[in-house]
Structures are given as C-alpha cells and as structure tokens.
Amino acid sequence: LNEDVVSEGTATTMFPDTMRRVRHGARLCGLFALGDGSASGATRLVAVVSDDGTLWSEEAALARGQRRFASLAAEVPAAAWYERRIHDLFGLRPVGHPQLDPLVLPLRRGVHAPLGPDGHAEQPLDPDPTPLRAHVHGEGVFTIPYGPVRSGVFETVEYLVETAGEDIPHLRARIYYKHRGVEAAFEGRTVADGVLLAERVEGVASVAHALAFCGAVEVLGGIDVPAGAQLARVVHAELERIANHLDTVVRHTEAAGQAVAYAAFSHHKERVQRLRGRLCGNRFGRGVVVPGGVARPLRLAPSEVLSALGKLQHDVEDDFRRLMGTPSFLDRLRRTGILSNDDARRFAALGPVGRASGAHEDVRRSRPYGAYERLGNPVGTPESDGDALARQRVRIEEIEGSFHLVRQAADMLDELGEPARWRSPVPPLTGEAIGWAEAPQGEVLSLVRLEEGRLAQVAQRSASFHNLAAYPAAFGKDILTDVAFIEASFGLSIAGAAG
Amino acid sequence: MAWVPRGLRDGIVTTSYPRRPDGYGPGFVGSVAVSQVPGDPPDALADAVTACPTAAIVVSGNVVQLDRGRCILCGRCSELAPGTFRPDPGFETATVGRRPLVVPARAGEEPDDATLAAARAALGRRVRALRRSVHVRHVDAGSDGSDEWEVSALTNPVYDVQRLGVFFTASPKHADLLLVTGVGSIGMTGPLEQVYDVMPHPKVVVGAGVEAVTGGMIGRRYASSGGVTGVIPVDVFVPGSPPSPFGLLYGILLAIGVLAGPVVIGAEANDARTAR
C-alpha cells in the first residue's frame, strides 16, 4: 500500500479535544499507539491529557495502510519523545516532527519497526553505533560522549555533550542501549504475571508501577480493593519514595565528595531497604501488590512499623539539617541545572522535577487513588527556582510527607485489626483501561488492554521517559563539572525511559 | 565541622561477613529449596509449574528441578506445593558455572569430589594473582535499574567492600572482575564485548541477577539476548531478581577464590560462546 494514500491532516483535526485542552493549560501525559485486537500492529493513536484533576483520553483511528500522522510536537514539545518512540517501534511517521532522531531503536535503514503494522516480526536489532549528527556548529566545538559504559556504578546511557571546552550549549541523551522490549514482553501474559513484569519496567519504582498496572485492571473490572490492602499499598509505596529520594541525596553527596554525608545517607537508604525487606520479603517491595489487593499482609505489626520509623525519621532529618547547613555542598546545587518554569510547562515535567519548577501536580492529590483519598496528604511548599537545590528541597519535604503517610496508614491498619481479606478476586476481563500512580520520579501511567484475561497490549509509561525529554533543557548555563549534580537531581531511571 | 563528630557518632556499622556470619542472612529469602522427593500430589505440582512466571520448574516423572537462573523468587510455587518447594533463607546462592543453578542435581549427575577439587583448583590458579586487590568494572547490559542499587550498596558503610580489597574502577583496562547486570540488551552487546576484550588477563566475569543468566521475565526477544552468556563467557552466576548486596558480595568473593563454594566448572558452562 502506498503510505501517502491517506492524508495525515493536522494535529488539530486529529486530536481536536486534546489540542484545545493543552492550549488552555492542560498537561499532555502521553501519546501511545494501540492495536484493537482485530488486526496486528497499531490501529489507533491515543493521546492522554490531565486537565483539572481528570484524565482525558482521545483516540485517532488510523486508516488501513496509514503510516503517517500529523506531529503534535511542533506545538506541544511534551509529545516529541512519544512520537519518536512510536516512529521507532510502530513504524508510524509523525509528519512535521521538529527532530525525528532515533530514540529507542537506532536501526540501520531498512529494518522495520518491531511492533509495526507488518506484524510482530521480532527480528534481532542491528544497532548503528555511529553518533547522531552534531547539532551545534562552530569553531572548536566538539562532542564528548559520556557513556554508554559510565565511570562508576550507573545505569547505561549515553549523554552526548556538545561543547567548546567548558560550557554545555547542548546535550542529548541516547537511551537505546538499554531498550529491552518490555512492551512486547507483556503480550499474552496473565494479569498476575503482568504485574511482575510491570515491577521490572523501572525496578527502583516497582511498587508504583505495580499500582498503576493494577489500578488499570481494577478500573476495568470494577474491583474494590479491601481497605486494609489499600493501606498496606500506601506503606510500601511511601517507603519506596523515601528510598528513592535518599538515593538522589546519596548521589549528590558522592558527586560533591562529602564522604561522611555519603556514608550517613547511604546507611539510611540501606536501613529503609531492609525495613522494606522485613515488611514483605523483598527489598524492592516486589510481589506484594497484586490485582485486587495485596498478596499478603505486612509482616510486621503496625506498632513495630511505627517504632522502626520513629528512629529512622529522627536520624534522617537530623542529617538533612546538617547537610542543608553545609555551604560547600549547597554551592554545588544552587543555580545548577535550572529547568525554567516555562520549560517545565512546555515539557509537562512530572514529579519532583516539575514541582521544583512551578508545575505542582502530584497525582496522589489531584487524582487520588486507593487510600490516598482518605489520608491527610501534606502539601509541600511550592518551589519555582528550578535548580538542583530546589529539587533537593522538594524531595526533603516529600520524605517528611511520606513518613507522615506511612505513620497514618500504620495507625489505621492498627485500628482495622485483621480484615476479612487482603485481596478481591479478579475475573478474566476484556477491555481497555488506564491506571496511574505517583512514583518517586513522578506520575506513572499504565494503559492496559485485556482480552479474556490475557494481556493484549500494555503501555507502561514511566515518569523517567517523560522527564528525560526535558532533561537537556536544564543545561545551558552550566559547565561540565555540574553534569553529575544535574543528573542526580533529576533522579531518572534509564530502564524506565528505554522500556 | 559538624560532619567530623557525626562521622564518629554511629560507631562501626560494617558487617563482619565473611569472617563471621551476618544476622541479616536468615531474615531474607535468598532462594527456593526443592526436595529430592516431591512431597505434593501431582496436580499441585502441575499447578506450581503452570504458575511459575519464568518456566523455571521442570517435572519429569518423579523428579522435580528448579532453575535458579530463571527463578525470580515470586513465591508462588512454595504456596501451591509447599511439600516440594520451600523459601530458603540465606544469600550464599551464587555458583561457579551455570549447571549448579538447577537444583537439585539429578541422581548420577552430582559432581564427585575429584571434579569439585579440580574445578576449584582451576579457578584458583586463574585468579591467584587477584586475591588481595581486585578491581571491579560494573556494566549494565539492560537491567531494570534495581540491580545497580544493590551493586552500589556494596560501597555503603554496611557492606564496605573496600575493606576486603575490592574496589570499583572506572576503566575496563584497570579491571580484573567484570560484574554484569541485565538481560543483554541488543544495544549493549557491542559495548559489553569491547569491555571484556580490553580487560587484562587474568579476568573473571560475574553475571548478577537472573536477567543476566536467562533474561528473567523479559526472556529472549527482539531487543534482548536472554542473558549475557551468549555475549561473553561468564564464570560465576548470582541468582536473584535483583540479587541482594550480600548475594553479590558472596558471588564476587567466590569468583576471586576467597571463598570455596560449591565449585563446578563444566567446560560447556565456562565457554559460553560455544555453549550457545
């Protein structure tokens, strides 16, 4: 079929409602290519928008043989990475895209998209290791590749820094090294197996991904999650947030050469991981959140949780006071890696990154799920400086908030006593739904399509994918030695971004 | 100067492992133990096989085997067939070679003492020069990100690998031990081979996590090699999804011959390139 048979129209004709909402300040959450079960490959594009505490999705059907669609990215920068991903994986071309470089699959020409309209020919990739063409030109400008094998224990990623020596006028991230093909791995699995895979999309945010995935299944089936299970989920999810936020502090102190602070905070993080292990048998909270509830109750009595928490919180907050009073540390973060409020809005930045730059949405409050509806959710101080220090302050406040939430949940579990059940049964379902959760990195979305209890397609969108598109915008006034701080302060997981 | 007294306040938080056992081990499910004789009715066993999300359990006749190179410790089998599968505490689960990850060994396939001794001696000869100062290069070949947390935990004051003469190094050219995590994503096979090739001899490779052994939940797909064993030769395998810091520590010490574990090096396991 000739791919020009069908005109792609414009973004406004394709997604009238989405474009209208985004023009009025709504946040684009993502753009996805989905099949409908009747044919192989993608048959629809789905745009998801968050507007005033409600999630809206709008579909644009693709005509048979249509391989092109009108790009939204020229007007909505937040769509740019979604369109590059759709182009790589599904072979659909966004016409008018400002910069259609390969993202998750830098294939040599001629190899077709693995999830594309020609069906799922899962042929092995043939990566092209030559760097992307330079974007900055001028005398003495050269490109420094950081990665893919980094100096230290980091996730694999390559940052191409185009520089004339010290300043960083331009930075690009290449994430394809880590692309594992997670979306394809969901297909055909049961929902029970699907949640185990969702936990491994972004391993450091296993609980949040499991919650988003299960949320979609529960919405689809109209399943009530028992009150006790909802509270247990909050305990696991908030401890995950504390561990992740402490991890960014550990990386900051390591980059700043603050040896004692590094030892102190990495010890605190280990204590949190061990507490999580004691609560559920896994240091990452895996295997606990299941569709319909939790697999098992907390292994510690609420009173034991509270006493473990008290000492931990005291020690963590004591060290935060010390760290935030250490000028040689603060100097490295202040005015470093500024993501302007304007850029945060354009890229619809999520999580602590967005909240440090004036984009204050936290889906635990704006679209509360599970027990968050009943818990007093502390509102953080609005930050708008947008630098690494602001992101650090946001996370410190969130850690305090998370301790507060875990304590509330443990108290309520104590009052509840032993509930009749910890999970509701999940019948074999057919249909499509969207679930969400606020991961430590920001909002996780899960688009789940089920056919008679089996997963037909799952798009598990991490906040890391969404925020990594905004990451280059935080460079500009910085120099090479700031890179470590900017990276740590974004707190992104490359696994979650590369999929 | 607030940090100076702070540094002294907590005293020593570092484990004595491996000199003395660590109390954390028994509180932690590190593997699934399988009875030699199945203690469940056939339909319960069949349920366990079906429920396993990574097809780690194989039942043939009266013999049940579990591949720890696939097991992600989800715990379903021990719930469905508790007479056969049991969550086992402890973290000393790493093995030299791929075959010992399949437990229990079939009757007649248990390695005899002479094989064990010979294999132990062979690895010992290879790594003798490394024992007191080992430089580790970690490479992420498509992990889910949790493995890196556990690897970097080794430098926190609780595990503090430097006290054992183990150091992380930035350059592969300075590295003795290659610690690989992840499914062997296709994008990383080239860089991983390069890192392995430029490492000086003698070198030893630790594959950490079931993802590095078989691909785990991802398995083998268009973008995943289903483990790194087809990319570079792996000497020591550390099960777990992800492996715990103690599990990694045990695997590293096993690889450099500090600990004498259940050492079995089959020729086929040691040369992974030909094994595939």
**Which tens digit of pLDDT belongs to each residue from A417-436?**
888 899 999 999 999 999 99
What pLDDT is stored for residue A112 in this prediction?
65
- Range ranked top by mean pLDDT from A63-67, A88-92, A487-491, B271-275: A487-491
Query: Which residues of chain B are within 8 Å of residue A325 when distances are taken between CB atoms?
Result: 2
What pLDDT is stored for residue A132 in this prediction?
60
Mean pLDDT for the stretch of residues A100-108: 77
Are the C-beta atoms of A114 and A40 separated by less than 8 Å?
A: no
**Which tens digit of pLDDT belongs to each residue from A162-172?**
888 788 878 88
Determine whether the interchain pair A284/B72 forms a contact, defined as Cβ–Cβ distance below 8 Å.
Answer: no
What pLDDT is stored for residue A66 in this prediction?
86
Helix (H) / strand (E) element for B121: namely: helix B113-127
Query: Which residues of chain B are within 8 Å of residue A247 when distances are taken between CB atoms?
Result: 149
Determine whether the interchain pair B140/A200 forms a contact, defined as Cβ–Cβ distance below 8 Å.
Answer: no
Mean pLDDT for the stretch of residues B145-149: 97
**Distance between A26 CA and the closest CA of chain B, angstroms:** 31
Helix axes A259-280, A227-255, angle to 10 degrees: 160
Percent share of chain A, pLDDT over 70: 92
Out of B138, B188, B244, closest to residue A148 by CB: B188
- Whether the ipTM is more than 0.85: the answer is yes
- Range ranked top by mean pLDDT from A368-377, B23-32, B77-86, B92-101: B77-86
Residue for token pair 């919405």: A219
Query: Which residues of chain A are within 8 Å of residue B157 when distances are taken between CB atoms?
Result: 263, 266-267
At residue B266, does pLDDT exceed 80?
Answer: no
What pLDDT is stored for residue A2 in this prediction?
42
- The DSSP call for residue B161 is G
At residue A402, does pLDDT exceed 50?
Answer: yes
At residue A126, does pLDDT exceed 70?
Answer: no
Look over chain A and give the mean of its residue pLDDT values, rounded to a whole number.
Answer: 90
Residue A481 or residue A389, greater confidence: A389
At residue B139, does pLDDT exceed 70?
Answer: yes
Q: CA-to-CA distance for A159 and A172, rounded, in angstroms?
A: 6
Q: Rg (Cα) of chain A, in Å, rounded? A: 22
Q: CA-to-CA distance for B87 and A454, rounded, in angstroms?
A: 29
* Amino acid at residue number A285: G
**Which tens digit of pLDDT belongs to each residue from A8-58?**
789 999 999 999 999 999 999 999 999 876 665 668 999 999 998 899 999
Query: Which residues of chain A are within 8 Å of residue B191 when distances are taken between CB atoms?
Result: 148-149, 156, 177
What pLDDT is stored for residue B265 in this prediction?
37
B89: nearest CA in chain A?
A281
Question: What tokens were used for A96?
Answer: 């008018």
Q: Choose the weakest-confidence range: A126-140, A389-403, B3-17, B222-236.
A: A126-140
Q: CA-to-CA distance for A299 and B64, rounded, in angstroms?
A: 30
pLDDT band at B52 (very low <50, low <70, confident <90, very high): very high
**Distance between A19 CA and the closest CA of chain B, angstroms:** 34
- The DSSP call for residue B70 is T
Q: CA-to-CA distance for A215 and A437, rounded, in angstroms?
A: 8
* Amino acid at residue number A425: P
What pLDDT is stored for residue A39 in this prediction?
60
- The DSSP call for residue B129 is G
Q: What is the DSSP string of B162-185?
A: GGGTEEE-S-GGG-SEEEEESS-B
In sequence order, the β-bridge partners of residue B237 are: B95, B207
Query: Which residues of chain A are within 8 Å of residue B89 when distances are taken between CB atoms?
Result: none
**Which tens digit of pLDDT belongs to each residue from B205-253?**
999 999 999 999 999 988 899 999 999 999 999 999 999 999 999 999 9
Query: Which residues of chain A are within 8 Å of residue B232 when distances are taken between CB atoms?
Result: none
B-contacting residues in A 276-335 (Cβ below 8 Å): 277-278, 281-284, 286-287, 295, 319, 322, 325-326
What pLDDT is stored for residue B117 in this prediction?
65
Residue for token pair 């396993």: B52
Percent share of chain A, pLDDT over 90: 74
B167: nearest CA in chain A?
A152
Determine whether the interchain pair B244/A283 forms a contact, defined as Cβ–Cβ distance below 8 Å.
Answer: yes
At residue A242, does pLDDT exceed 50?
Answer: yes
Q: What is the DSSP string of A22-86?
A: HHTT-EEEEEEEE--SSSSS--EEEEEEEETTEEEEEEEEPPTT--EEE-STTT-GGGHHHHHHH
Distances, alpha carbon B14 to alpha carbons B11, B22, B128, B253, in Å? 9, 10, 27, 17
Determine whether the interchain pair B170/A152 forms a contact, defined as Cβ–Cβ distance below 8 Å.
Answer: yes
Q: CA-to-CA distance for A13 and A290, rounded, in angstroms?
A: 40
Is A151's Cβ below 8 Å from some Cβ in B?
yes
Determine whether the interchain pair A127/B190 forms a contact, defined as Cβ–Cβ distance below 8 Å.
Answer: yes
Look over chain B and give the mean of its residue pLDDT values, rounded to a whole number.
Answer: 87
Determine whether the interchain pair A124/B186 forms a contact, defined as Cβ–Cβ distance below 8 Å.
Answer: yes
What pLDDT is stored for residue B125 in this prediction?
78
Q: Rg (Cα) of chain B, in Å, rounded? A: 19
What pLDDT is stored for residue B90 in this prediction?
87
Is B140's Cβ below 8 Å from some Cβ in A?
yes
Please compute, for residue A301, the number of CA atoms within 13 A of its CA located in the half-sphere on the CB side: 5
**Among A146, A176, A180, the residue to mutate for chain B (most B Cβ within 10 A):** A180
Determine whether the interchain pair A495/B144 forms a contact, defined as Cβ–Cβ distance below 8 Å.
Answer: yes
A-contacting residues in B 208-247 (Cβ below 8 Å): 216-219, 221-224, 241-242, 244
Strands A293-294 and A289-290: antiparallel
B-contacting residues in A 240-269 (Cβ below 8 Å): 247, 258-261, 263-264, 266-267, 269
Q: Choose the weakest-confidence range: A130-139, A249-258, B124-133.
A: A130-139
Question: What tokens were used for B231?
Answer: 């990319």
Number of Cβ within 10 Å of residue B112's Cβ equals: 8
Are the C-beta atoms of B80 and B44 separated by less than 8 Å?
A: yes
Q: CA-to-CA distance for A142 and A178, rounded, in angstroms?
A: 25
**Distance between A425 CA and the closest CA of chain B, angstroms:** 17
Are the C-beta atoms of B238 and B251 separated by less than 8 Å?
A: yes
**Which tens digit of pLDDT belongs to each residue from A250-279?**
999 999 999 999 999 999 999 999 999 999
**Which tens digit of pLDDT belongs to each residue from A150-162?**
988 999 999 988 8
- The DSSP call for residue A123 is P
**Which tens digit of pLDDT belongs to each residue from A175-230?**
999 999 999 999 999 999 999 999 999 999 999 999 999 999 999 999 999 999 99
Distance, C-alpha A402 to centroid of its chain: 18
A202: nearest CA in chain B?
B144
- Respond yes or no on whether the N-terminal peptide bond of residue A382 is cis (omega within 30° of 0): no
B-contacting residues in A 439-498 (Cβ below 8 Å): 493-496
At residue B114, does pLDDT exceed 80?
Answer: no
Q: CA-to-CA distance for A416 and A229, rounded, in angstroms?
A: 11
What pLDDT is stored for residue A368 in this prediction?
94
Provide φ and ψ at B121, rounded to 5°. Answer: -65, -40
Query: Which residues of chain B are within 8 Å of residue A200 when distances are taken between CB atoms?
Result: 144, 216-218, 241
Determine whether the interchain pair A322/B241 forms a contact, defined as Cβ–Cβ distance below 8 Å.
Answer: no
- How many degrees, rounded to 5, is the angle at CA A175 between CA A169 and CA A181? 160
Out of B4, B145, B157, closest to residue A203 by CB: B145
Handedness of CA A131, A136, A142, A146 (dihedral sign): negative
Determine whether the interchain pair A493/B145 forms a contact, defined as Cβ–Cβ distance below 8 Å.
Answer: yes
**Which tens digit of pLDDT belongs to each residue from A438-452?**
999 999 999 999 999
Determine whether the interchain pair A319/B146 forms a contact, defined as Cβ–Cβ distance below 8 Å.
Answer: no
Number of Cβ within 10 Å of residue A24's Cβ equals: 9
Handedness of CA B29, B31, B37, B41 (dihedral sign): positive
Are the C-beta atoms of A304 and A279 separated by less than 8 Å?
A: no
- Which residues are within 8 A (CB) of A109 and not within 5 positions of it... i.e. 6 or more apart? none
**Which tens digit of pLDDT belongs to each residue from A274-322?**
999 999 999 999 999 999 999 999 999 999 999 999 999 999 999 999 9
Determine whether the interchain pair A125/B221 forms a contact, defined as Cβ–Cβ distance below 8 Å.
Answer: no
What pLDDT is stored for residue A18 in this prediction?
96
Question: What tokens were used for A2?
Answer: 């000739």
Are the C-beta atoms of A115 and A185 separated by less than 8 Å?
A: no
**Among A120, A156, A268, the residue to mutate for chain B (most B Cβ within 10 A):** A156
**Which tens digit of pLDDT belongs to each residue from B155-202?**
999 999 999 999 999 999 999 999 999 999 998 999 999 999 999 988
Query: Which residues of chain A are within 8 Å of residue B10 when distances are taken between CB atoms?
Result: 264, 267
Out of B153, B168, B222, closest to residue A125 by CB: B222
Please compute, for residue A389, the number of CA atoms within 13 A of its CA located in the half-sphere on the CB side: 15
